[in-house]
């Protein structure tokens, strides 16, 4: 999973900086992640439980929250509950889910709660830095595995004109998802499809929106089979 | 009753005078046939007892043919089978509840053959069915536990016959005594017998419950148990009432019944909280035991896998390559254990691709990430696809030197595999003719089996695209 989504675009944005809160119940992982992140990213707070996380996020109002999917405390909802508890800040604070879990229900649950992306914990420091900036800029971050989940949930047949636009991916979106699932970075996707990186980002954001909002029958069924809804 | 010597089973034999009863009985008891016949005739003279006995055996005892047919279906003969042949658990159901109850109920009051026959008739069919049903199960404890507890009594195998015999003897004795002019206090004996019978039914239930550990029972078993308990209780109450009231007057009996039910209700009311608490304690203990078992299983798994791997990693801490490889292998194993859906069909295409990826990871140490969408059962042509994928993963891992991304998209009609690495790339034209890895193992193999293989390589990485079977129009992407 440590494929480099958007590798090579990071250096362009080094002039920027971002304020980040790390939410994870493992202190070792938090300190490791802090050491890995680019110096331009300022970690302004840490939290280990759902309650701490909601409090720290409300107090610090960071640009990005790096959020573990599985967290102790609260009502047992983990990362999903943190996002729900910080719903008022969703316009200014973006959430990027971090997980060691491969389970589709974990991943898609936080995405549907409002996270802007999902990466695994084995991702490298440069990659996570890039992902943080991408999320802070309002884009979505898809790992190959999340793209695989999306293709699984929405099916691999493109939408007809008649379909509800939320319920299926367009042919272009399918192509983008397939390439991401194959390990392509955004830049590589853009090159492969002869479109701009901005367009790729637009497609990915559109897919993320569909994943969050769609009540598509198959998606519901798919989610229910994985005890998601 | 386990000391019964080995005897031939009781069947009606071919060398018959009337119905073959006497010869069969003689064979079974090991007596001369003549003696048996004489005894039967003598018994017939004594008030027709011999005739009744003969008729009963005629009805009850199967002929040798029938018995053989039954034995073909069931290991043991239905009536007092020879214990020399240890029956498979499937035949244990002999101590069936209905017959036992019938014997106790009818016990003292001279069981007419019809009643006994009824009980037998009811019970004759089900054991066969059960024999069939449990024939498919593994013999031994597994199938033993799967059966309702009242079928589980080994010791009770002849209990029904013995109860029946005791009852008949008692009834016979009473009849004979009355014939001889002795005044038998039937008014006392019948209620007493009812009390004894009811109590034994209820106690048998308790015994079973204890045997089943009071816990591992299904609802259906409990319902049967409750019915038997209620029947026993009713018998005991009725017996006690009749005995105490001392008269057959219905009014008095009804009054007494009312009073006793009221008293019983009061007792139940008082004891109920204790019973409930007892039950809850049992349930809690049971739940605790299940949790403990689960915890032990997880601990065992972690010990066998994770702890061993951690120990290995500490010993090899100097060798980064080994550490990464061990960690990856352990991660894969643990993920499989935690997240795999046990209900999913094993051996699907995605499983095979993942297994190939794991193999390559183990071999070369670089991570191979597999993302799969859809799935399909593995067909013959898929084997070539899997082998070619494996070869491509090996190449990617060896020459790319980093993570290899594998994407599988499969449906029943078509499967595609993409293998991408981020190595320096190569030009297929530059590969020497004698190097068969790419040309033969990937491209040649796929073409031979009716699939396609294309390789795109740039300085930023290489991607191998495999498709099976060949698509009508190749790949929707910009490049072929």
**Which residue ranges form the domains of chain A, and what is each CATH number?**
10-139 (3.40.50.2300), 145-225 (1.10.10.10)
Does B476 lie at the interface with A, CB-CB under 8 angstroms? yes
Under DSSP, is residue A13 helix (H, G, I), strand (E, B) or coil? helix
Tell me the CATH number for domain B347-468: 3.30.565.10
Choice among A159-163, A180-184, B212-216, B403-407 with the minimum mean pLDDT: B212-216
- Tokens (6 digits) for B162: 């013995």
At residue B81, the pLDDT reads 38
B246 pLDDT band (50/70/90 cuts)?
Answer: low
pLDDT one-digit tens code per residue, B249-290: 677 777 877 887 888 889 988 888 888 889 989 999 999 999
Torsion sign (Cα): B24, B29, B31, B37: negative
| Residue given tokens 């790096």 in the structure block | A66
Who has greater pLDDT, B4 or B191?
B191
Predicted ipTM of the assembly: 0.79
Average of per-residue pLDDT across B78-82: 39
pLDDT of B418 higher than 90: yes
**In terms of C-beta density within 10 A (0-12 exposed, 13-18 middle, 19 or more buried), how is residue B300 classed?**
exposed
Cβ of B339 and A193 within 8 Å? no
| Residue given tokens 């032990």 in the structure block | B296
Report the residue from A103, A175, A182 with minimal CB separation from B405: A182
Bin B47: left if φ > 0, else alpha if -120 < ψ < 50, else beta. left
Who has greater pLDDT, A23 or B204?
A23
Contacts of B328 in chain A (CB under 8 A): none
**Between A and B, how many residue pairs show a Cβ–Cβ distance under 8 A?**
59
* Residue whose C-alpha is closest to residue B397's, from B427, B437, B454: B437
CA–CA separation, B320 vs B366, rounded Å?
A: 12
CA angle A226, A227, A228 (to 5 degrees): 90
Largest CA distance in chain B: 121
At residue A20, the pLDDT reads 92
Cβ of A192 and B479 within 8 Å? yes
Domain ranges within chain B, ordered by starting residue: 347-468
Contacts of A192 in chain B (CB under 8 A): 477-479
Residue of A nearest to B480 (CA): A192
Radius of gyration of chain A (CA): 17
At residue A2, the pLDDT reads 42
Residue of B nearest to A183 (CA): B405
CA–CA separation, B70 vs B61, rounded Å?
A: 12
pLDDT one-digit tens code per residue, B11-37: 777 677 777 788 888 888 888 888 888
CA–CA separation, B417 vs B421, rounded Å?
A: 13
At residue B417, the pLDDT reads 92
Cα→Cα distances B312→B112, B304, B316, B326, Å = 79, 12, 6, 8
DSSP for residue A160? P
pLDDT one-digit tens code per residue, B182-212: 776 766 777 777 777 777 776 666 555 555 5
pLDDT one-digit tens code per residue, B316-331: 888 888 888 888 888 8
Residues 6+ away with beta carbon under 8 Å from B39: B50
* Residue whose C-alpha is closest to residue B214's, from B155, B142, B278, B146: B278
> CB–CB of B9/B62 below 8 Å?
no
Contacts of A184 in chain B (CB under 8 A): 420
pLDDT of B106 higher than 70: no
> CB–CB of B108/B193 below 8 Å?
yes
At residue B215, the pLDDT reads 44
At residue B438, the pLDDT reads 76
Contacts of B401 in chain A (CB under 8 A): none
Cα→Cα distances B30→A94, B5, B22, B43, B78, Å = 94, 11, 12, 19, 19
Contacts of B374 in chain A (CB under 8 A): 152, 156
Round to the nearest angstrom and report the end-to-end CA distance of chain A.
26
pLDDT one-digit tens code per residue, A32-89: 888 888 888 889 999 988 888 999 999 989 999 999 888 888 787 788 888 888 888 8
Give the residue numbers in A contacting B (CB under 8 Å), as ranges. 1-4, 101-103, 122, 144-145, 147-148, 151-152, 156, 175, 178-179, 181-184, 188, 192-194
At residue A125, the pLDDT reads 83
At residue A148, the pLDDT reads 87
At residue B90, the pLDDT reads 41
**In terms of C-beta density within 10 A (0-12 exposed, 13-18 middle, 19 or more buried), how is residue A191 classed?**
middle
Residue of B nearest to A194 (CA): B478
- To the nearest whole Å, the CA of A99 is away from the closest chain B CA by 13
CB count within 10 Å of CB B221 equals: 18
DSSP for residue A64? E
Q: Which residues of A195-209 are buried (b: 16+ CB within 10 A; e: fewer)?
A: bebebbbbbbebbbe
Residues 6+ away with beta carbon under 8 Å from B94: B76, B78, B127, B157, B158, B160
Secondary structure (H, E, C), chain B: CCCCCCCCCCCECCCCCCCCHHHHHHHHHCCCHHHHHHHHHHHHHCCCHHHHHHHHHHHHCCEHHHHHHHHHHCCCCCCCCCCCCCCCHHHHHHHCHHHHHHHHHHCCCCCCHHHHHHHHHHHHHHHHHHHHHHHCCCCCHHHHHHCCHHHCCCHHHHHHHHHHHHHHHHHHHHHHHHHCCCCCCHHHHHHHHHHHHHHHHHHHHHHHHHHCCCCCCCHHHHHHHHHHHHHHHHHHHHHHHHHHHCCCCHHHHHHHHHHHHHHHHHHHHHHHHHHHHHHHHHHHHHHHHHHHHHHHHHHHHHHHHHHHHHHHHHHCCCCHHHHHHHHHHHHHHHHHHHHCCCCCCCCEHHHHHHHHHHHHHHHHCCCEEEEEECCCECCHHHHHHHHHHHHHHHHHHHHHCCCEEEEEEECCCCEEEEEEECCCCCCHHHCCCCCHHHHHHHHHHHHHCCCEEEEEEECCEEEEEEEECCCCCCCCCCCC
pLDDT one-digit tens code per residue, B329-363: 888 888 878 776 665 666 788 888 988 898 888 88
At residue A222, the pLDDT reads 59
- To the nearest whole Å, the CA of B367 is away from the closest chain A CA by 9
At residue A215, the pLDDT reads 64
What H or E segment, with its residue span, contains residue A20?
Answer: strand A18-23
- Tokens (6 digits) for B89: 């658990």
Round to the nearest angstrom and report the end-to-end CA distance of chain B.
84
- Tokens (6 digits) for B348: 């699907």
Does B374 lie at the interface with A, CB-CB under 8 angstroms? yes
Average of per-residue pLDDT across B95-104: 39
Q: Which residues of B85-98 are buried (b: 16+ CB within 10 A; e: fewer)?
A: eebbbbbbbbbbbe
CA–CA separation, A127 vs A133, rounded Å?
A: 10
* Residue whose C-alpha is closest to residue B403's, from B286, B293, B324: B324
Residue of A nearest to B331 (CA): A100
Contacts of B405 in chain A (CB under 8 A): 3, 144, 182-183
- Tokens (6 digits) for B269: 């009311």
Cα→Cα distances A187→A127, B226, B237, B475, B479, Å = 14, 73, 88, 20, 16
Average of per-residue pLDDT across A90-100: 86
At residue B471, the pLDDT reads 57
Phi and psi, residue A47, nearest 5° = -150, 150
Interface with B, mutate which of A181, A184, A228 (most B CBs under 10 A): A181
At residue A87, the pLDDT reads 81
> CB–CB of B398/B419 below 8 Å?
no
**In terms of C-beta density within 10 A (0-12 exposed, 13-18 middle, 19 or more buried), how is residue B215 classed?**
exposed
Exposure of B469 in the CB half-sphere (CA atoms within 13 A): 8
> CB–CB of B382/B376 below 8 Å?
yes
CA–CA separation, B462 vs B427, rounded Å?
A: 10
């Amino acid at each position: 999973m440590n494929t480099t989504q958007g590798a090579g675009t990071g250096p362009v944005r080094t002039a920027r900086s971002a304020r980040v809160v790390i939410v994870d119940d493992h202190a070792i992982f938090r300190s490791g992640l802090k050491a890995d992140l680019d110096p331009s990213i300022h970690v302004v707070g840490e939290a280990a439980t759902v309650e701490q996380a909601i409090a720290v996020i409300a107090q610090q109002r960071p640009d990005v929250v790096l959020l573990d999917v599985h967290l102790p405390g609260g009502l047992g909802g983990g990362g999903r509950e943190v996002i729900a508890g910080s719903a008022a800040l969703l316009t200014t604070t973006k959430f990027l889910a971090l997980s060691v879990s491969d389970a589709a229900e974990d991943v898609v649950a936080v995405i549907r709660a409002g996270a802007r992306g999902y990466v695994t914990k084995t991702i490298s420091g440069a990659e996570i830095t890039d992902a943080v900036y991408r999320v802070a800029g309002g884009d979505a971050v898809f790992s190959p595995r999340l793209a695989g989940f999306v293709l699984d949930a929405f099916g691999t047949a493109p939408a007809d004109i008649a379909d509800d636009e939320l319920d299926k991916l367009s042919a272009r979106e399918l192509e983008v998802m397939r390439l991401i699932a194959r390990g392509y970075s955004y830049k590589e996707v853009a090159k492969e499809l002869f479109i701009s990186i901005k367009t790729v980002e637009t497609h990915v954001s559109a897919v993320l929106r569909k994943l969050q909002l769609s009540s598509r029958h198959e998606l519901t069924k798919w989610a229910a089979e994985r005890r998601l809804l | 009753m386990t000391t019964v010597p080995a005897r031939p089973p009781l069947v009606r034999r071919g060398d018959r005078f009337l119905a073959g009863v006497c010869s069969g009985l003689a064979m079974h008891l090991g007596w001369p046939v003549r003696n048996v016949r004489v005894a039967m005739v003598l018994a017939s003279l004594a008030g027709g007892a011999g005739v009744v006995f003969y008729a009963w055996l005629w009805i009850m005892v199967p002929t040798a043919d029938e018995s053989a047919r039954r034995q073909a279906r069931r290991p043991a003969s239905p009536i007092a089978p020879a214990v020399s042949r240890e029956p498979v658990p499937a035949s244990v159901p002999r101590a069936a509840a209905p017959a036992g109850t019938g014997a106790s109920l009818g016990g003292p009051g001279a069981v007419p053959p019809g009643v006994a026959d009824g009980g037998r008739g009811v019970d004759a069919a089900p054991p066969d069915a059960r024999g069939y049903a449990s024939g498919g199960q593994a013999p031994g404890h597994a199938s033993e536990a799967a059966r309702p507890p009242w079928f589980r009594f080994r010791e009770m195998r002849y209990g029904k016959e013995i109860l029946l015999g005791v009852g008949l003897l008692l009834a016979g004795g009473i009849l004979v005594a009355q014939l001889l002019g002795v005044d038998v206090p039937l008014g006392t004996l019948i209620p007493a017998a009812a009390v004894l019978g009811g109590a034994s039914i209820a106690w048998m239930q308790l015994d079973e419950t204890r045997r089943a550990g009071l816990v591992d029972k299904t609802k259906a078993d409990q319902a049967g148990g409750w019915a038997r308990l209620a029947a026993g209780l009713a018998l005991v109450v009725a017996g006690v009432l009749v005995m105490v009231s001392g008269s057959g007057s219905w009014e008095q009996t009804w009054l007494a019944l009312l009073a006793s039910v009221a008293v019983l209700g009061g007792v139940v009311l008082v004891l109920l909280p204790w019973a409930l608490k007892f039950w809850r304690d049992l349930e809690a203990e049971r739940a605790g035991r299940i949790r403990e078992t689960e915890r032990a299983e997880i601990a065992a798994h972690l010990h066998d896998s994770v702890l061993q791997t951690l120990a290995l990693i500490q010993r090899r801490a100097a060798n980064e390559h080994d550490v990464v490889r061990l960690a990856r292998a352990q991660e894969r194993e643990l993920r499989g254990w935690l997240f795999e859906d046990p209900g999913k069909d094993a051996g699907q295409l995605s499983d095979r691709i993942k297994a190939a990826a794991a193999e390559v990871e183990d071999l070369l140490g670089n991570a191979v990430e597999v993302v799969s969408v859809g799935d399909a059962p593995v067909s013959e042509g898929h084997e070539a696809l899997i082998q070619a994928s494996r070869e491509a993963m090996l190449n990617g891992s060896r020459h790319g030197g980093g993570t290899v991304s594998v994407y599988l998209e499969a449906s029943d009609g078509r499967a595609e595999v993409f293998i991408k690495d981020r190595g320096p790339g190569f030009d297929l034209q530059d590969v020497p003719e004698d190097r068969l890895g790419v040309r033969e193992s990937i491209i040649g193999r796929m073409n031979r089996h009716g699939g396609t293989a294309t390789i795109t390589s740039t300085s930023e990485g290489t991607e191998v695209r495999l498709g099976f079977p060949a698509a009508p129009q190749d790949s929707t992407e910009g490049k072929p």
